[in-house]
């Protein structure tokens, strides 16, 4: 995976890494080309030679966190065969799973190695609206209106880089032993992959809140400089597949 330079995403990453109240938010937005480098090719060869892991084989994913409780009618495909014996779940091809694992390795290198991650560590998110609401709600709850001033620029920059309507969105939801944010003091964290198959590109958004920020009442500074990096006039919202619900609307 090759990291693609993007000044807007770098500015947003800086704006999303701040202290607010009694915690610190660390956010990072990175764009990657799915073109394989040397290490990627070796890892892909290793993964592809494991039983049931050919490039086009389907791997079972875990359900999105909290999704089943809110939408019990959510439909899943069978992971193993069409004879009704396999468990109901979302699936992903071995090659796409490899892209997600390689993105994690590239982003957290050299501190972590995700080469042994499995499909069950990832989920496919149901829609752009669902993900946008989850992200907006979490950041609003922690940073308040400081994020509100940044939100439109955030989603506009993502759309410009990855064309959100053409993306499949995945999340990484590991156990504590595999979580790069699993150390003591972590309050919440999320890891989202916006994968555009046509562009052969992934935008990775990883963010966490950890205790130990500045004293109460200290302005987070989120978005204080970011406006200089973008043009004015982002008055639109993105809509989900049925074109009814605006993205970013918090329920």
Lowest-pLDDT choice from 84-98, 104-118, 141-155, 236-250: 236-250
| 7-16, 118-127, 235-244: least confidently modelled range | 235-244
How far apart, in whole angstroms, are the C-alpha atoms of residue 99 and residue 44? 9
Report residue 88's pLDDT band, with 50, 70 and 90 as the boundaries.
Answer: low
Model pLDDT, residue 17: 87
Distance CA 17, CA 142 (A): 12
Q: For residue 49, what pLDDT is reported?
A: 73
- Determine the pLDDT at residue 177: 64
Residue 19 has pLDDT above 60, yes or no: yes
What tens digit of pLDDT does each residue of 109-133 get? 888 889 889 999 999 999 999 999 9
Residues 192-231: pLDDT tens digits? 999 999 999 999 999 999 987 544 333 445 554 544 444 4
Which pTM does this prediction carry? 0.78
Give SS3 for 142: helix
Q: How far apart are CA 200 and CA 35, in angstroms?
A: 8
Q: Are 43 and 64 in contact (CB under 8 A)?
A: no
Does 18 score more than 80 pLDDT? yes
pLDDT at 115: 87
Residue-averaged pLDDT of the chain = 78
């Amino acid at each position: 995976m090759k990291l693609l330079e993007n000044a807007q995403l770098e500015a947003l990453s800086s704006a999303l890494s701040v202290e607010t109240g009694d915690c610190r938010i660390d956010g990072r937005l990175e764009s990657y080309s799915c073109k394989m480098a040397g290490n990627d090719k070796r890892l892909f060869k290793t993964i592809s030679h494991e039983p049931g892991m050919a490039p086009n084989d389907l791997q079972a994913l875990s359900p999105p966190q909290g999704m089943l409780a809110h939408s019990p009618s959510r439909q899943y495909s069978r992971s193993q065969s069409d004879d009704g014996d396999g468990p109901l779940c979302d699936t992903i091809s071995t090659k796409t799973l490899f892209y997600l694992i390689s993105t994690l390795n590239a982003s957290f290198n050299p501190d972590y190695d995700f080469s042994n991650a499995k499909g069950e560590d990832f989920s496919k998110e149901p829609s752009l609206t669902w993900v946008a609401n989850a992200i907006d709600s979490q950041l609003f709850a922690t940073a308040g209106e400081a994020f509100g001033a940044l939100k439109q620029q955030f989603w506009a920059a993502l759309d410009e880089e990855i064309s959100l309507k053409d993306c499949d969105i995945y999340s990484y939801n590991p156990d504590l032993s595999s979580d790069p944010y699993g150390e003591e003091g972590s309050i919440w964290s999320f890891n989202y992959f916006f994968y555009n198959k046509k562009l052969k590109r992934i935008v990775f958004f990883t963010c966490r809140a950890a205790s130990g920020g500045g004293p109460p009442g200290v302005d987070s500074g989120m978005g204080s400089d970011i406006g200089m990096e973008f043009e004015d006039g982002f008055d639109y919202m993105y809509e989900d597949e049925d074109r009814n619900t605006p993205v970013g609307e918090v329920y």
